[in-house]
Amino acid sequence: MKRDIPAAEALAQILSETPVLGFETVSLGETLGRVLGEDVRSARVLPPADNSAMDGYAVCAADCARASEGAPVWLPVAFDVPAGSADVPRLARGSAARILTGAPLPPGADSVVRQEDTERDGERVAIRAAPEAGVNVRRAGEDVEAGELVLEAGVRIGPAQIGMLASLGRTVVAVHQRPRVAVLSGGDELVEPDGDVAGGRIVSSNSWSIAAQCRELGAEPVYLGIARDAPDEIERRLRAGLSADVIVSSAGVSVGDRDFVRGVLEKLGCRLHFWGVRIRPGFPLAFGRIGEDARGPLVFGLPGNPVSAMMTFEQFVRPALLRMQGARRLHRPLVRAQLAETLRKKPGRMHLVRVTLERDGETVIAHSTGNQSSGVLKSMIRAQGILIFPAEASDLAAGASAMVQVLDADFLAADAPGF
């Protein structure tokens, strides 16, 4: 087991141990937010035929080349083409067909004159503007061509992807499985939110924030409850998580007298790859994998402090859970931001500074959220970003720039729609 390693090494180690889960088939309506597990090629052409983009008249543009407001061209209306028509007849030169939006363009026609540029008089129509050939026609295949690779495996499925899958006639879709994450909290001082907090007890907030972090990125938490600081209870609860893809336990992995989690994990056949990452908050992070052939669940022993637990989840568990789902992007968006105030620390550990962000013209300005203690959960509530204060640096002067992981792009939000 390695100890006291840099963050980048810890993450690389974790990702090298993280498998991509298999696939499952789900119905189209269940695909929102899932990661597509197959390349989707279209067996169809979309739209399937040339069709009208307007309500108006289908014509051959050459027949109306001289049409103008003052000198309209009169054409006989040969037939009507509503949307959904099949077997549309051929349009003879020198005539027009009444056509509605989405209806197939008759063979022989090459353009659609919009209704506003026409005047109907019984069986005839006056064309008051000369159409350019092809105008107001949506071409067959202008959206999707036959055989085209429309969606690639690894994309996250959103509303537009679902609309496309529907257009292609897909009622079931292969997606990556969602990782099941067993969440364990440990500590004699902990109670559930409706529990009695007399005598200095505190609520196990980690149980809730960690489960929510799992859900937010598409993983499925399975709660193992609160284990008292006793090896046999920790073991009993951890055993219930052995069938999960990942076990995330918080607290009890430090060097305190009652930190039994590491010992129990080892007893359960967990090979710990590292303990201790040179970051703050979150130093006492342990990572390993259970099982002889290392095919069991990945195990993350997170620190107990609420900010440390959330932060180590964010930096190390989140990318692993995304990789398991086959996602392409494992990391948050990054921006370079200018510091509003000077930050100082001792060299040695990378600090993950919770910041609020503000846009000032083209510049993004980062302000510390204030008290950066690992027990101050409010610093996470307010955080729009996590500023990377590199391990070997000892100060970052006001006005200097640093990389910020963007948690919440709300600082870009406007109070007007921009139109």
CA atoms of 172 and 165, how far apart (whole Å): 9
Question: Can residue 174 be called a binding residue for ligand AMP (CB under 6 A)?
Answer: no
Report d(CA 309, CA 184) in Å as an integer: 12
- Residue 40 vs 226, nearer CB to ligand AMP: 226
Q: Tell me whether residue 136 or residue 185 sits nearer to ligand AMP (CB atom).
A: 185
DSSP-derived pairing of the beta strands 124-127 and 118-121: antiparallel
Neighbouring C-alpha atoms within 13 Å toward the C-beta of 11: 16
Nearest approach, Cβ of residue 23 and ligand AMP (Å) = 34
306 binds ligand AMP, rule: CB under 6 A: yes
Q: How many chain residues are in contact with ligand AMP, going by CB under 6 A? A: 18
Q: Which does 190 bind (CB under 5 to 8 A by kind): Mg ion, ligand AMP, none?
A: ligand AMP
Taking only Cα atoms into account, the Rg of the chain, rounded to an integer number of angstroms, comes to 31
CA distance 388 to 351: 6
Closer residue to ligand AMP, CB minimum distance, 121 or 196: 196
Length of the chain (residues): 419
Binding residue for ligand AMP, selected from 305, 315, 356, 405, defined by CB under 6 A: 305
Interaction mask 216-245, ligand AMP, x per CB under 6 A? ------------------------------
CA distances to 184, 246, 286, 297, 321 from 19, rounded to whole Å, are 22, 11, 18, 10, 10
* Residue 327 to residue 324: CA distance in whole angstroms: 7
Part of the chain binding ligand AMP (CB under 6 A), chosen from 120-128, 246-254, 272-280, 353-361: 246-254
Q: Is residue 254 a contact residue for ligand AMP (CB under 6 A)?
A: yes
Indicate the DSSP class of residue 46: B
**Residue nearer to ligand AMP on the CB measure, 256 or 291:** 256
Provide the β-strand partners of residue 357. Answer: 366
Residue closer to Mg ion, measured from CB, 131 or 187: 187
190 touching ligand AMP, by CB under 6 A: yes
Q: Which does 8 bind (CB under 5 to 8 A by kind): ligand AMP, Mg ion, none?
A: none
Half-sphere exposure of 66 (CA within 13 A, CB side): 5
Residues that bind Mg ion (CB under 5 A): 187, 251
CA angle at 153 for the pair 147 and 156, rounded to the nearest 5°: 120
Single-letter code of the amino acid located at 81: V
Q: Residue 251 interacts with ligand AMP (CB under 6 A)?
A: yes
Q: Please report whether residue 106 would count as binding ligand AMP according to CB under 6 A.
A: no
Which residues contribute to the site for ligand AMP (CB under 6 A)?
185, 187, 189-190, 202, 204-207, 250-252, 254, 256, 303-306
